[in-house]
Amino acid sequence: MVIPPIAISGIPDGSLGDCHPWQSGGIGGSWQSEGLLGMAIRGIGYRVDRGNYWGQVRGEIMDRGMELRIKGHLYEITALNDEVCEKGRQGFHSSEEGYTRTFESVAECAGAAMVDKVAKHIKDEMRRTAERPDNQSVRRKARMMLSEEDYVTDTYLNRA
């Protein structure tokens, strides 16, 4: 079994070194070869980066209150979907993922009040048309709403 190397960032000089978790160059060895155990013993701060997993990255940015607010809106959208949409839950999972990413992007750019406005737009659109709005149109509307309030949008919203 081959275990791939993991990247260690936060090294004192800011460089990026690769090492296997079982490597140990000893306490007197160089920081590049001493591995996680040696770094932990020496007290050097590090962050393990096993790739660009988006959930881990966004998990660090969002506070718990915002996460709960977004989940609450998604719960309401799910209930409304069951109530008014003819398709039922067919394709809902991908829509939910798109709405989640849009809410997170809006939260990063503008905060809770704008997340609430975007969620209200989605719910109103679902009631009006009896269908789920596609994520492209939700992102486009969110971008327009943020621009009207003079917020700077991120690349995710700008790609809509």
pLDDT of the chain along its 160 residues, tens only?
A: 555 444 444 444 444 444 444 444 444 444 444 454 444 444 444 343 333 334 444 445 578 999 999 999 999 999 999 999 887 888 889 999 999 999 999 999 999 999 999 999 999 999 999 999 999 999 999 999 999 999 999 999 999 8
Provide the domain count of the chain: 2
Exposure class string for 33-48: b at 16+ Cβ within 10 A, else e: ebbbebbeeeeeeeee
Same domain? For 146 and 78 the reply is: yes
Kindly state whether residues 86 and 150 are assigned to the same domain: yes
Q: Assess whether 35 and 98 both reside in one domain.
A: no
One domain for residues 113 and 154: yes
Q: What pLDDT is recorded for position 35?
A: 52
User: Do 103 and 28 reside in the same domain of the chain?
Assistant: no
Q: Domain of residue 19: give its range.
A: 6-49
What pLDDT, on the 0 to 100 scale, is given for residue 91? 85
Whether residues 41 and 94 fall in one domain: no
Nearest to 77 by CA among 123, 133, 44: 123
Both 70 and 149 in a single domain? yes
For residues 27 and 43, membership in a common domain is answered with: yes
- Are both 117 and 85 inside the same structural domain? yes
In a domain, 1, yes or no: no
Q: Please write down the long-range contacts of 39-47, taking CB distance under 8 Å and 24 or more positions apart.
A: 39/8, 44/10, 44/11, 44/12, 45/10, 46/8, 46/9, 46/10, 46/11, 47/8, 47/9, 47/10
pLDDT of residue 146: 96
Which pLDDT score is estimated for 98?
A: 95
Q: Is residue 30 part of a domain?
A: yes
Q: Is residue 18 part of a domain?
A: yes
Determine, yes or no, domain membership for 139. yes
* pLDDT computed for residue 85 by the predictor: 86
Identify whether residues 28 and 81 lie together within a single domain: no
147 located within any domain? yes
pLDDT at 123: 96
pLDDT at 144: 96
**Residue-level pLDDT at 28:** 45
Q: Are 75 and 133 part of one and the same domain?
A: yes
